Amino acid sequence: MSDTTTGRPPESGGSGLHRGLGRRQMALLGLGSALGTGLFLGAGSAISVAGPAVLISYAAGALIALTVAFALGEMVSALPVQGSFGTIAARCLGPFAGFSVRWIYWLALIVGIGSEVVAAAIYLRFWWPDIPLWLAVVVFAGAVTAVNTAGVRNFGSTESVLSAIKAFAVVAFIIIGVVLIVFGLPERPATGVSNWTSHGGFLPEGTLAVWLVMSIVLFSFAGIELVAISAPEAKEPGPSLRGALRSLILRLTLFYLGAIAVMLAVMPWPKLASGHGTETSPFVMMFSAAGIPAAASVTNFVVLVTALSAANANLYASGRMLHSLGSDRLAPAALGTTTERGVPRPAVLVSSLGFLATAGLTALFGPRVFSVLLALGTFGVIAVWIIILLTLMAFRRDPDRPPSTLRLRGGRVTPVLGIAALLSVYATGIYVPEMRTACYVGGPVLVLLALAYLLLRARRRRPTERPGAAPLPLPVVKGWTSN
């Protein structure tokens, strides 16, 4: 297939990307990224820090995610452009902001995809322990890449199926838990909710723990940005975005808070705090308590699908981000091209090489390199959310901005409070070694990005070295008066 640069007809969204996603597919795409192994296997880490009070942390995390989601909705409903919040940040905060936020987000996604592919390979060894880890990683990486290089409709359908399996598993988990809490089983009396306070009270580790666990919690909600990134490929960007955001936030809040509240009621939190593998996953414990046969195998299948779904959705986002950077001449121009079917194939393939490299490092060197990569991902997610809220504040001050069909309530106060809350999560590095590592890793990455931007700008300003070169432009956004 031939490639084409930007400037496709209106039905392609003006970016070379085809509009083939419906509202339900957009919502499930965001759910596919945000509802990951952090809930199915990693909830024990958060519970070990805060005990039952982790419910407060997840409620606060959902509120912050809701703020960021509707900030995105307000801007992207007016401008469903390629590059999403990165392109809008360049217009509102300046070219460096658009450059840095897109590269930070791309790096965070690459780390996340690599970790999910390695996780999927480990889950596969639950059934076939002798299979080489590297082989399973390569197979899953190839499968995820193949889905993403297909047309957007095929991708949307695949991701919808994977996300639906995860959603069904969480709903089943919550229903079984409610039965165990309220009615019990013939050989198991109803538990009630006494476990919320029976082992050291609701705040067994003190109020400080509610704050210290926020980095884990926020990373669990990462992925809501995918709804906004997919807007240029939506059949009806405005209505689809509004419906998808409302549906996504409702489902995430219900799934995380509902599932964790149920597991904390059914089982003592010290037991849940030790659950970090398939055999000790809270889902296995719950299904086993309900007498479901092969509970470990059922849960392993679900977490395998969960990891592949998250990797699939995040590769979609990383490909679109890299494509927008290529289109704006902030990355090699070849990355800004698409196939005749509207697939940014070069950007997807380069992104797949990136996450395959991170997956290989993790598979070879294990926890040491993984902890550094995860720290970079955590730092990146929080930094991106802060820039999104700063962009919204600048967006509202622009008198020439297009009208929005969705609005974040609370005026100026809400984004300011959101930024303060996100900065406070960085401050947990005073006590939390993982967040301290995130700041140590993220800071130098920002410096490197600043140097890369300065070099790029300097090259554009030296036409003697590159005939016909021009300064770095602001992205051209249709419907927005040029400054």
| Predicted local confidence at residue 382, as pLDDT | 93
Residues 124, 136 contacting (CB under 8 angstroms): yes
- Answer with the residue of higher pLDDT: 18 or 474: 18
| Predicted local confidence at residue 469, as pLDDT | 37
User: Which residue type, as a one-letter code, is found at position 155?
Assistant: F
Domains and CATH numbers, the chain: 22-460 (1.20.1740.10)
Mean pLDDT (whole number) for 309-327:
87
| Predicted local confidence at residue 432, as pLDDT | 85
- State yes or no: pLDDT of 116 exceeds 50: yes
| Predicted local confidence at residue 83, as pLDDT | 77
Confidence of residue 21 (pLDDT cuts 50, 70, 90): low
The residues, ordered by sequence, that sit 6+ positions from 303 with a Cβ below 8 Å of its Cβ are 37, 40, 41, 119, 123, 278, 281, 283
For 79-120, give the DSSP string.
Answer: ---TTHHHHHHHHHH-HHHHHHHHHHHHHHHHHHHHHHHHHH
Helices (H), ranges, 125-224 = 133-148, 152-182, 208-212, 214-221
Confidence of residue 168 (pLDDT cuts 50, 70, 90): confident
| Predicted local confidence at residue 186, as pLDDT | 79
In sequence order, the β-bridge partners of residue 339 are 3
- State yes or no: pLDDT of 205 exceeds 80: yes
- Answer with the residue of higher pLDDT: 169 or 12: 169
Q: How many CA atoms lie within 13 A of 226 on its CB side?
A: 33
Specify burial of residue 189 (Cβ count, 10 A radius: 0-12, 13-18, 19+): exposed
- State yes or no: pLDDT of 303 exceeds 50: yes
* Closest to 311 (Cα-Cα) out of 117, 151, 103, 38: 117
- State yes or no: pLDDT of 256 exceeds 50: yes
| Predicted local confidence at residue 228, as pLDDT | 75
* Closest to 425 (Cα-Cα) out of 8, 61, 24, 48: 61
User: Which residue type, as a one-letter code, is found at position 437?
Assistant: T
| Predicted local confidence at residue 308, as pLDDT | 87
Confidence of residue 170 (pLDDT cuts 50, 70, 90): confident
| Predicted local confidence at residue 253, as pLDDT | 79
Confidence of residue 152 (pLDDT cuts 50, 70, 90): low
| Predicted local confidence at residue 465, as pLDDT | 42
- State yes or no: pLDDT of 370 exceeds 70: no
In sequence order, the β-bridge partners of residue 21 are 234
| Predicted local confidence at residue 240, as pLDDT | 67
What is the spatial distance between Cα 461 and Cα 1, in angstroms, rounded to a whole number?
35
- State yes or no: pLDDT of 470 exceeds 50: no
Mean pLDDT (whole number) for 293-311:
82
- State yes or no: pLDDT of 53 exceeds 90: yes
Mean pLDDT (whole number) for 284-308:
78
Could you tell me what percent of the chain has a pLDDT over 90? 20
- Answer with the residue of higher pLDDT: 392 or 221: 392
Per this entry, what is the length of the chain?
A: 483
Mean pLDDT (whole number) for 291-297:
76
* Closest to 31 (Cα-Cα) out of 250, 234, 223: 223
In tens, the pLDDT along 404-421 reads 888 888 889 999 999 999
| Predicted local confidence at residue 132, as pLDDT | 85
Q: Where would I find the beta strands (DSSP E) of 410-481? A: none
| Predicted local confidence at residue 483, as pLDDT | 40
Mean pLDDT across the chain, nearest whole number? 80
Residue 4: its H or E element: strand 3-4
User: Which residue type, as a one-letter code, is found at position 4?
Assistant: T
